[in-house]
Amino acid sequence: MTAAPSRPTEPRLAPNRPRTAQAVSTASRIDPMRILRQHAWTLAFAGVAGIGLGAVGQVACSIFYPLYWGNVLFELQASPDSSTDVTTNDDRTEEAVERLGQTEAARILSRQLLERAVSNRDVEQTVWSQHYRDENGTFIPADAVDDLEDELSAGHKRRTAYFELSWSTHVADDVPVVLNRIAETYEAEERRRADDRFLQNRNAFAKQLTAQENELADLDKAIGVFITENKMTSLNDDRNDMLLILEDTTRQINDSKSFLTLSESRRTQTQDKMDGRLEPTFDDIRKAEQDPQLLDIGQSVNILMIGAEASKRKFGPNHPATLDSQRQITAAKQENDALLRRVVQRNLSADFKEYSDQAETYTALLAKFQEEFDRQQTRMKDFAGALSSVQQLRDRRDRLVELRAKQLEVIGSIDQLKARDDARRVTISQRAVTPRMLAFPKWKLMLPLGAALSLGAVAGFIFLREFLDQRVRYASDLQGIPNLRLLGMVPDLSEDPLSPERAERVVRESPRSVLAESCRQIAGQLFKQMDAGQLKTLMCMSGLPEAGTTSLVTNLAESAAASGRKVLIVDANFRRAHLSAAVGLEPDAVGLGDCLRGSCGFTEAVRSVCDGVDCVGAGTPDSRIYELLGTVKMDEFLAAAAARYELVILDVPPAVVAADGVALANRMDAAIIVARAFQEQRGLVARMAAQLSDSKSQLLGVVLSRPMNTAGGYFRKNFETMAKYGGS
């Protein structure tokens, strides 16, 4: 048998990218609309059942747990700005009113106020109070308040000057008794607090007034003593001259700092270049290249390159003279690079010396200017300090005089405001009345609530099950796997509207069927990628058995043959060989196994299937030795096949059953994955994609096999459209 020619070594169009250390994502992409359409009837039934449960809950709660609701409304009054205002002017912001309302609402719910409110004879006579009595029938306010703290609700009503106190209980007559008693207790407490607040404010202002008068007397005395001691009778005429000198010195300091910073920056950059922390700039290298020695070496390299090119044309690239010229060129270039580095380093050393000298000069100038600035600033501070001290004392005295006048005015206003009735911040606007209707339950609440809870529970169960299902079911499930392209989908045989007899040769036997059209579309994408990358050998691998890999191999081959290609299909599945039987050949005839064992030659194993398609079966049963697939014999077989055919397609065993496919991937140009819907897990497909991406073959994509036409999907309409168009 003659040696097969070697496989082409041209670069591929898009080799596999190396995977990063990040974990491969296999998260499912859930289509909510599809799921809702699939389970529309279930959700509708759940909604109807929820409405029924809501009706039952309405009747049951009306009998066993009725609630009556009531409220007390309080108004947040605007206090008069001064005692002379005839009416109040409400200029409070909405935020301020809301904050005040929430504060008063929290105060009315305080435990101390509630205990005082329920310790009342009217409250003790309510039905509600019967739940908080001891064995002797005595009412226990503390126990009642424990529940009231949880049941009472108080809060500000948005965009109003009101806040309310609300409560619900099982007896309607108890609502106004308890709520009005709490409101009256709060009103009395608020009145007492207002009186205490007026008294505290007046005492505080009176105390401040006394302190201000004492401080004013002390300040007058201090001003006189300071002026006498410092002899401050006029201003210093040299003040403007000192300011001009300071301004000029400041400008000189700033200029020196700028030049110093520039010199130090250049020195640091030069040091970093000398130490290797920064690369020399283009200007550094260009300056070094002007060195006479480098120019001489460059001319020598050009002369050597001209001689080497002449020797190559005269004697050939492998002639000793040519090779010797190449070595001389390499040595000359190395010498040139070494000398360039030395010259660059020498120039950098000179620059470093220059920048260092500049930095020292600017440092000395900066120290000189700074010393002059400090001296002038001290003179200015001494002059300004004395003047400022006098002015501060006078300003302080003026402020104290103004504060004393205002303090007297405030004390008078407090006394007048205390006598006004409208100075109270909170009043009762509306008292609680006996409720006439149930607050709970209500039909308009119970029926939607029952439906919502039922729908939520059923929908949550459906979506949880959908999320936890890790199988590949739809095309969207494959989109979460990175670097994996969906080539197409092949429907189940029973889903084809034209009902072809078998799937293995549907392209030839039922060319107008949906299966045939799907295979042709997949073949078109595959051949486009393989032609662009100059790929000739293709491996088809699935994760689990019964994925439809053999049917895809045969139909891809016949699609390629229909376009004028010469195709060879090879059964590399030694564990369960079906390819020969699928194309109507003897399954146990000589084939791949016999070629790998050396029992027959390549041409003896090839059998014709149809025009343009040949087949190499798995071989005789005794020759199907799995280990032979990973030997040099397999490389020789693939090389011989690639030399004789335009396209070679291998059918390999599933990845879960055997590792033959992964081993063969390193010997193939390209590979595709066949994933059967509702059978293979996303994690399995992701691992297969990762393994194939790490191999020498190019992973072209994945084919989704036998997706189910479920409610809410778009496959059935597409299949019917394809069938109608193909049959017209």
Residue ranges in 469-513 assigned as alpha helix (H):
475-478, 506-509
Q: What is the pLDDT of residues 630-639, one digit of tens each?
A: 889 999 999 9
Query: For residue 569, what is the enclosing H or E element?
Result: strand 567-571
Given a cut of 60, whether residue 2 has pLDDT beyond it is no
Q: Is the pLDDT of residue 17 over 50?
A: no
* pLDDT the model gives residue 540: 93
pLDDT digits (tens, 9 = 90+) for 169-198: 998 899 999 999 999 999 888 888 888 887
- Whether the pLDDT of residue 70 is over 60: the answer is yes
Q: What is the pLDDT of residues 398-443, one digit of tens each?
A: 888 888 888 887 877 777 776 666 667 788 889 999 998 888 888 8
CA distance 285 to 343: 9
Joined tokens for residue 191: 């009145």
Q: 174-230 vs 320-418: helix axis angle to the nearest 10? A: 100
Q: How far apart are CA 553 and CA 570, in angstroms?
A: 9
Q: In the prediction, which pLDDT does 28 show? A: 54
Q: How confident is the model at residue 18 (pLDDT cuts 50, 70, 90)?
A: very low
d(CA 427, CA 88): 15
Confidence of residue 215 (pLDDT cuts 50, 70, 90): confident
Q: Please check the confidence at residue 712 and state whether its pLDDT lies above 70.
A: no
| Average pLDDT, rounded, for the chain | 81
Q: Collapsing DSSP states into helix, strand and coil, what is residue 136?
A: coil
**Furthest C-alpha separation in the chain:** 129
pLDDT of 424: 73
pTM for the model: 0.47
Q: What pLDDT sits at residue 232?
A: 57
Residue 613: its pLDDT value, please?
Answer: 93
The pLDDT tens digits for 485-527 are: 888 888 877 777 777 878 788 888 888 888 888 898 898 889 8
Question: Which of 349 and 607 is assigned the larger pLDDT?
Answer: 607
Give the least confident one: 142-151, 335-344, 602-611.
335-344
In the Cβ-directed half-sphere of 255, how many Cα atoms lie within 13 Å?
10
Q: Return the HEC string of 385-443.
A: HHHHHHHHHHHHHHHHHHHHHHHHHHHHHHHHHHCCHHHCCEEEEECCCCCCCCCECCH
Q: What pLDDT does residue 16 have?
A: 52
Q: For tokens 């595959």, name the residue.
A: 526
* Residues 72-87, mean pLDDT to the nearest whole number: 73
570 φ, ψ (degrees, to nearest 5):
-125, 130
Burial of 96 (0-12, 13-18, 19+ CB in 10 A): exposed
Beta bridge partners of 537: 648
Separation of alpha carbons 525 and 532, rounded Å? 11
Name the residue with tokens 């496959």.
Answer: 715
Question: 516: exposed, middle or buried (C-beta count within 10 Å: 0-12, 13-18, 19+)?
Answer: buried
Task: Give pLDDT tens digits for 117-126.
Answer: 999 899 989 9
Closest CA to 549 of 490, 607, 487, 495: 490
Q: What percent of the chain has pLDDT over 90?
A: 18
pLDDT at 645 over 80: yes
If you write DSSP's letter for every residue of 628-655 in order, what string do you get? GGGSHHHHHHHHHHHHH-SEEEEE---T
Question: Radius of gyration (Cα) for the chain, nearest Å?
Answer: 48
The answer to whether residue 299 scores a pLDDT higher than 90 is no
pLDDT of residue 5: 36
In the predicted structure, residue 722 carries a pLDDT above the cut 70:
no
Tally of CB atoms within 10 A around 125: 12
Looking at residue 405, its pLDDT comes to 83
Select the highest-mean-pLDDT range: 248-262, 609-623, 655-669: 609-623
Find the angle CA(359)-CA(361)-CA(362) to the nearest 5 degrees.
65
